[in-house]
Amino acid sequence: AQRVTQPEKLLSVFKGAPVELKCNYSYSGSPELFWYVQYSRQRLQLLLRHISRESIKGFTADLNKGETSFHLKKPFAQEEDSAMYYCAPLADYGQNFVFGPGTRLSVLP
Amino acid sequence: EPEVTQTPSHQVTQMGQEVILRCVPISNHLYFYWYRQILGQKVEFLVSFYNNEISEKSEIFDDQFSVERPDGSNFTLKIRSTKLEDSAMYFCASSVGRSSYEQYFGPGTRLTVT
């Protein structure tokens, strides 16, 4: 069965500190992986996808097939990064997302 | 920038009643989705819809649920006889294509079943 875990429910860091949001998946084949973000009182929106290898708002994520991980990283956190972050692999039985439980990132001043 | 819209933002209903949640996807999108999020839990996939039929559905999407695209713009989720455990935030999403295309989410409808 497909599974995605985000071990931290809440992660608090100080502004300017590095941040890493962990995501591990259990999938057969080669899943496509995404990170979605939900800022306070806003809708879920795509942050980045692994196939594009881009950096959005300073965030990057590397797919590590050996460790089956897709951790989200940013070298210097900003207060406006405070939000819920969801790791979301595309399900291998279809083309719909299987969201992780989410990590709430709180960036303290 | 076009957005997915959902109405109502909050719906309160009594157990056993039927509810219809409405969504207007982005106009040139072809794939439509419903997800739900029970308070404090993760976002769960319900159903995807393409070319006027269901393309995928999860175990949650049982006979009490149905989806419809009654006209060229609306995409609805109907719950026939609501249960207390149907209380959740329901998100509609749409995408221009399948696979790695970005899904655009609506703001959600909070359903409260009393």
Indicate the domain borders of chain A.
3-108
Residue B48 β-bridge partners:
B33, B56
Tell me the fold of A3-108: Immunoglobulin-like (2.60.40)
Please provide residue A60's backbone torsions phi and psi, each rounded to the nearest 5 degrees: -135, 160
Q: Please check the confidence at residue A92 and state whether its pLDDT lies above 80.
A: no
pLDDT computed for residue A51 by the predictor:
74
pLDDT > 70: what percent of chain A? 91
Q: Please check the confidence at residue A63 and state whether its pLDDT lies above 60.
A: yes
Q: What is the pLDDT of residues A26-60, one digit of tens each?
A: 877 677 889 999 998 888 998 988 777 777 889 99
pLDDT computed for residue A55 by the predictor:
78
Instruction: Extract the tokens encoding A73.
Output: 């990283």
Domain boundaries, chain B: 5-113
Q: Which of A93, A49, A48, A85 is nearest to B57 (CA)?
A: A93
Cβ neighbours of A101 in B, within 8 Å:
41-42
pLDDT computed for residue A89 by the predictor:
83
Q: Does residue A66 or residue B62 have the better pLDDT?
A: B62
- Interchain CB contacts (distance < 8 Å): A and B: 57
pLDDT computed for residue B1 by the predictor:
82
Cβ neighbours of B4 in A, within 8 Å:
43
Q: Please check the confidence at residue A75 and state whether its pLDDT lies above 60.
A: yes
Question: What is the pLDDT averaged over residues A62-85?
Answer: 93
Helix (H) or strand (E) holding B57: strand B53-57
Name the closest residue on chain A to residue B50, using Cα atoms.
A95
Alpha-carbon distance A47 to A20, whole Å?
15
pLDDT computed for residue A22 by the predictor:
97
Q: Which CATH architecture has domain B5-113?
A: Sandwich (2.60)
pLDDT computed for residue B19 by the predictor:
98
Per-residue pLDDT of chain B (114 residues; tens, 9 = 90+): 889 999 999 999 999 999 999 999 999 899 999 999 998 888 999 999 999 999 989 999 999 999 999 887 899 999 999 999 999 999 999 998 876 578 899 999 999 999
- Which residue has tokens 């393409």? B50
Instruction: Extract the tokens encoding B8.
Output: 């109502």
pLDDT computed for residue A15 by the predictor:
97
Contact across the interface for B100 and A99, Cβ inside 8 Å: no
Cβ neighbours of A98 in B, within 8 Å:
45
